[in-house]
Amino acid sequence: MKKGLKVSMLILLISAISLAIIGCNDKPILNVYNWGDYIDPDVIKDFEEEFNVKVNYNTFATNEDMYVSIAKGGTSYDVAFPSDYMIERMISEGLLAEINKDNIPNIKYIGEEYLDLDFDPGNKYSVPYMWGTFGILYNKTMVDDVVDSWDILWNEKYAGQILMLDSQRDSIGVSLKRLGYSMNTRDLNELEEAKNELIKQKPLVYAYVGDDVKQLMVAEEAALAVVWSGDAVAMMWENENLEYVYPKEGTNIWFDNMVIPKNAKNKELAEQFINFLNRPDIAARNVQYIGYSTPNVAAQELLPEEIRNSQVAYPSKEILKNTEIFRDMKDMLSVYDELWLEVKTER
């Protein structure tokens, strides 16, 4: 074969292969950034099929990790799922795009108590996804004291059997609440005291955990853990010795909403995804998979009675009265950051 012919055949072959590759990949891509263990994978598949798109799904473990990737990272995400105080911060730093509600008609299914909250008045930048509390999950066969106070997490009897959340606002919040202080305190003496208590507690702590809390508690490798309510529900499905308690000193209530970062590449598709997740049948299915509490009233009605009536997922007004929502600490943020760093690096 002549050299010229060979070269043109090679070019032809390369173009055919590239065309085939492009052909498979020409679907619009939605970049999603969510907490680990926080969606039913089939819900993503259904969205991909129904909208003929590809979802790139990435996960994070804490609000702070998510913030760093979005504020400083190179990846542009189309949808992310921060909590209340972090949404407040991202709005104030101009990191979020305004959401076009015309593309989210399913927002009508959200209960009004989950809308128009202080961290995002008018829901200009965020649409509710899940909400919950955190509390103490304990194993009834491993703990013989009454569990009704954060104090039990400082009881030496349970040394090596206590799990704390590897999440700064949550763990600092536990320590502050136990001392009778606000989880949003700006008082340096209170913060110092909370820090010293966390350092004092450290030898009793088996580990600071994220999603691995589930495996450890279900396998009965620890007796007591600070957990988010939805994870408590999911763990109680797996092990009937587990019980969730709202400590009497009070706890945190949180709201995880969906947002669109300002540098999103596919804003309209992001809005379609947010709308899809608020379709009552989809939201109900998702909740039954992950265990968390939905703000979608129409979805709540589709849930089996044992979930709908669960005090863990849907606590009474009485319990909710004794909860506090995290606020963005703004100028005090570095104090909280430094405090947590000291706790984590203390030996």
Residues within the interface to ligand N2P (CB under 6 A): 35-38, 83, 211, 228, 254, 256
Q: What is the DSSP letter of 265?
A: S
Q: Which is nearer to ligand N2P, 129 or 158 (CB)?
A: 129
Residue at shortest CB range from ligand N2P: 35
Burial of residue 50 (CB within 10 Å: 0-12, 13-18, 19+) is: exposed
Nearest approach in angstroms of CB 265 to ligand N2P is 25
CA atoms within 13 A on the CB side of 40: 18
Nearest approach in angstroms of CB 127 to ligand N2P is 16
* Number of DSSP helices (H) and strands (E) in the chain, helices first: 14, 10
Q: Select from 256, 248, 224 the least CA-distant residue to 326.
A: 256
Nearest approach in angstroms of CB 235 to ligand N2P is 11
CA atoms within 13 A on the CB side of 211: 10
Nearest approach in angstroms of CB 154 to ligand N2P is 24
Nearest approach in angstroms of CB 229 to ligand N2P is 9
Q: Which is nearer to ligand N2P, 63 or 185 (CB)?
A: 63
Q: Which is nearer to ligand N2P, 83 or 286 (CB)?
A: 83
Q: Which is nearer to ligand N2P, 39 or 152 (CB)?
A: 39
Nearest approach in angstroms of CB 129 to ligand N2P is 10
Nearest approach in angstroms of CB 212 to ligand N2P is 10
Q: Which is nearer to ligand N2P, 129 or 276 (CB)?
A: 129
Length of the chain: 347
CB 103 within 8 A of CB 277: no
Tokens of 296: 């979608």
Nearest approach in angstroms of CB 162 to ligand N2P is 20
CA distances from 99 to 83, 122, 262 (A): 17, 11, 10
Q: Which is nearer to ligand N2P, 190 or 324 (CB)?
A: 324
Q: What is the DSSP letter of 97?
A: P
State the residue for tokens 């919950």. 132
Interior angle at CA 106, CA 40 and CA 90, nearest 5: 75
Q: Select from 89, 21, 26, 38 the least CA-distant residue to 328.
A: 89
* Residue 148: alpha-carbon gap to chain centroid: 25
The b/e string for 100-113 (b: 16+ C-beta within 10 A; e otherwise) is: eeebbebbebbeee
Q: Which is nearer to ligand N2P, 171 or 272 (CB)?
A: 171
Q: Which is nearer to ligand N2P, 254 or 340 (CB)?
A: 254
Q: Which is nearer to ligand N2P, 181 or 228 (CB)?
A: 228
Q: Which residues on neighbouring strands pair with residue 261, listed in sequence order?
A: 96
CA gap 248, 182 in Å, rounded: 14
Nearest approach in angstroms of CB 227 to ligand N2P is 10
Please, which residues have CB within 8 angstroms of residue 102's CB and are 6 or more apart in sequence?
Answer: none
